[in-house]
Amino acid sequence: MSLQRELTALLGKEITLEWRNRYAVNGILIYVISTVFISYLCFKKAIDVPVWNALFWIIMLFAAVNAVAKSFIAESKGRLLYYYSLCDPRAVILAKSVYNVILLSALGLINFIFFFLFLGSPVVDYGVFLSAIVLGCTGFALIMTMVSAIAARAHDNATLMAILTFPVIIPLILTVIKLSSYALEGGPIADSITQYIVLLSAINLLVLALAYILFPYLWHD
Amino acid sequence: MKKYWWKIACMALLFYVLLAGTFIPLGPGISLVHPEKVAAGDTLTFYIKGYNSHFDHGTCPPSVWFANAGKSICAQSVQIRNRTELEATIAIPADVKSRNFNLFVNSCYDGTMVLNNAIMLAGDMNNNATPTTGCEVTVATNSAGFHNFPNREILYESIRNLFYHVPMWWTMMLLFTISLIYSVGYLAGFNLGRDRIAGEAARVGIVFGVLGLLTGMVWAKFTWGAWWVSDVRLNGSAATLLAYTAYIVLRNSMNEEQKRARIAAVYNIFAYMLMLVLIIIIPRLTDSLHPGSGGNPGFSSYDLDHNLRLVFYPAAIGWMLLGVWILQIRNRKAKLFPK
């Protein structure tokens, strides 16, 4: 099979599996909604713009860790062995990455909707904010897919996933918080939006390239 | 002997850095002036205290003047008390144009010493006062030819920390880069010896990183007034240390050697690349208190003068050699006593 066909087959399998039980998606959804609701109860709407921004991305970060952690850890050993014998490792990592990008981007939008409902929205520039959500969630998904592959190979525990993720996610989260602050009211003067968009895209490409090159080494025992 | 030349060089360099960095004095400067508040039209006697100055040396007596909005206000009389103390009687004119006065003391022996914003104007500025003309300042260049470290405001004696703080980071980056190279090398040939060096280099690098952080914190407390400030450089270095601590945790979580080596190597390469983004690219986009980023000049551009360089470069080379030396010893130990 060519890489492209393997990729589509694996991606289809991911989505079908998810659609069949909807356990993970619903769990993460409730996770996000309840976190936003608890924040609303704690803050009582008296929340200023930088706090809103930081809270949004922190909730996004933790939801993302929980959502992506299962992508390799939840796979049974036997099934992973089956993939190994069947397809190119690059197709596996690309399929998982693409699936997680879709999942997290949707999660980001849902997170925003519930923020909008409960905590209000200081967003003035929706274009910039949406690009921040899409680029940021893509970055989260790409980094965390790779790290969850590492964590799953090391020891199947979620603590390791968090320990390994947080240091490497810092450059991404700093950049995305900066970018989304441009979209909020009272934000800095929009003079350098493009450079942050370019930086975010560059980080995403870098991570994708690293995952593509390095994942085959995680593969064989 | 031939084999050990770099270790001897390392010891010699660090010994030199320790001696020179501790005992070379700071250049002359002004540490204190009293009173600090004046009113326009006053004639006051100012007590001036120098630091490492030589007021009673030299062939010509020190001249003292204030600079206020581009105009010089000279002392009417200067009395030398001793090597570091002066008294100068200065008449503040009625038509001062700025609230801040910079104090200058010039002598043939010490050259020109400046204390910026030495005194402040209390009360109102009188805009209707009859304009006066400033005095002519005669500046003598120093003849003694000092070999001192520069006496900078805010930094003062803490400038010596340059020989410890900055080389620690350079050594850390060197060791992490060695770790990266050996991780890539491991993936190229699956040789466990290379993995061992990668792991040990990361461990030694963390030690140097922590030392860099501690020396930096002491320096930050002295110059910025806080042990930690939220700053891209500081946060970046803290994140780097976190990433490598995570790398060590990851290594320790596995027992099977080949598997551990492969997975740790993958994480090492992954983390190193993202850390490059964090400590090289992002600080250039954001403002920072730290020298070398966000419009703050690094030491190299104007602060790092000739005398500092003469100690700083040996310090950098010496600490890096020490880091490699420790790595060599740790690697041998790990080879002898595998876990």
Q: What is the pLDDT of residues A39-85, one digit of tens each?
A: 888 887 678 888 899 999 999 999 999 888 877 776 777 777 788 78
A160/B250 CB distance under 8 A: yes
The predicted pLDDT at position A1 comes to 58
Residues of B in contact with A203 (CB under 8 A): 274, 277
Residue with tokens 């997680």: A100
Select the residue from A155, A182, A199, A217 to test the B interface by mutation, using most B Cβ atoms within 10 A. A217
- Bigger pLDDT: B134 vs A141: A141
Helix B162-189 × helix B306-336 angle, to 10°? 40
Q: Which two tokens stand for residue B218?
A: 């002491």
The predicted pLDDT at position B329 comes to 96
The predicted pLDDT at position B13 comes to 95
H helical segments located in A120-157: 126-154
Q: Determine the straight-line distance between the first and last CA of chain A, rounded to whole angstroms.
A: 23
- Bigger pLDDT: A181 vs B233: A181
Q: How far is A168 from chain B (nearest CA, A)?
A: 6
The yes-or-no verdict on residue A98 having pLDDT over 90 is: yes
Are B125 and B40 spatial neighbours (Cβ–Cβ below 8 Å)? yes
Residues of A in contact with B268 (CB under 8 A): none
Most confident of A10-24, A137-151, B62-76, B232-246: A137-151
The full DSSP string for A152-187 is HHH-S-HHHHHHHHHHHHHHHHHHHHHHHHHHBTT-
Question: How far, in Å, CA of B336 to CA of B339, rounded?
Answer: 10
- Candidate from A167, A170, A214 with C-beta closest to B269: A214
Q: Is A205 on the interface with B (CB under 8 A)?
A: no
The predicted pLDDT at position B294 comes to 45
Q: Which two tokens stand for residue B146?
A: 């000092």
pTM: predicted TM-score of the whole model, two decimal places = 0.86
The predicted pLDDT at position B295 comes to 43
Q: Which two tokens stand for residue A183?
A: 């979209």
- Candidate from B240, B273, B275 with C-beta closest to A210: B273
Q: Is B111 helix (H, G, I), strand (E, B) or coil?
A: strand
The interface predicted TM-score of the complex, written ipTM, equals: 0.89
Q: Is B322 helix (H, G, I), strand (E, B) or coil?
A: helix
The predicted pLDDT at position A156 comes to 60
Residues of B in contact with A195 (CB under 8 A): 285
From first to last of its 339 residues, chain B has per-residue pLDDT tens of: 778 999 999 999 999 999 988 888 888 888 888 888 888 888 888 898 888 888 887 677 788 888 887 788 888 888 888 888 888 888 888 888 788 888 888 887 777 888 888 888 887 777 777 777 777 777 776 655 567 787 777 778 888 888 999 999 999 999 999 999 999 999 999 999 999 999 999 999 999 999 999 999 998 888 888 888 877 778 888 899 999 999 999 999 888 888 899 999 999 999 999 888 888 787 777 666 666 554 444 554 445 677 788 888 999 999 999 999 999 999 999 999 986
A146/B270 CB distance under 8 A: yes
Question: How far, in Å, CA of A157 to CA of B266, rounded?
Answer: 18
The DSSP H or E segment spanning B273 is helix B257-276
B265/A217 CB distance under 8 A: yes
